[in-house]
Amino acid sequence: MPEREKKTRRLTELSVLTAVSLIMFIIEMQLPPIVPIPGVKIGLANIVTVYAVYRYKPQEAAMIFFVRIIIGSLFSGNITALIFSFCGGLLCLLGMIIISRITDINMIVASSVIGAILHNTGQTAAAIFVMKTTAVIAYLPFLLFSGCIAGAFTGACAMLVIKRVRGKS
């Protein structure tokens, strides 16, 4: 396959993954909260992020993440969510990229759980900065617990997608 076709194919794959993550984000926005604690979500769009970290270059995974965060915030109409999502997501993304470089694909679920912990930590730090109060730290244990569950779920889903894609190639 000529180099130009490879680049076009790669860009198309990244665009489709970005669109899928946005669709998953929008679907999750429509779901009622699973618990009455602010910030607790399943994080369906993170399935794509975890998948991208393990299947693409770090800058490509980052591109999918940044585009989803920016467009997702526009769709939700909540600019404050942009700050929380960006801070938490960036910390999560960096952590998972580092872990993916020192472990293999079999650690994807653990990497996703650690990413979720980093995400919740980054969001809490952003909340402290935005709200100018440390009272939000009281939510952190609940966020970390739910984040571990959500991280395990998104990591397992990403692993299933990777296995499925490998089976087709």
* pLDDT, tens digit, 9 for 90 and up, residues 70-116: 999 888 888 877 898 899 999 999 999 999 999 999 999 999 999 99
Mean pLDDT, residues 147-156 taken together: 97
Model pLDDT, residue 162: 94
- Other CB atoms within a 10 A radius of the CB of residue 72 amount to 21
> What is the pLDDT confidence band of residue 167, given thresholds at 50, 70 and 90?
confident
Structure tokens at 6: 């490879």
Helix spans in the chain (H):
3-30, 46-55, 58-76, 79-102, 108-131, 140-168
Structure tokens at 55: 């299947």
- Report the amino acid identity of residue 38: P
Least-confidence region, from 29-38, 127-136, 140-149? 29-38
φ, ψ for residue 137, nearest 5 deg: -60, -25
Model pLDDT, residue 77: 84
Mean pLDDT, residues 135-150 taken together: 94
pTM exceeds 0.85, yes or no: yes
**Mean pLDDT, the chain, integer:** 93
pLDDT above 70 for 168 = no
CB-side neighbour CA atoms (13 Å) of 118:
19
Please state, in angstroms and rounded to a whole number, the distance separating the CA atoms of residues 161 and 150: 16
Mean pLDDT, residues 162-167 taken together: 88
Model pLDDT, residue 169: 55
> What is the pLDDT confidence band of residue 36, given thresholds at 50, 70 and 90?
confident
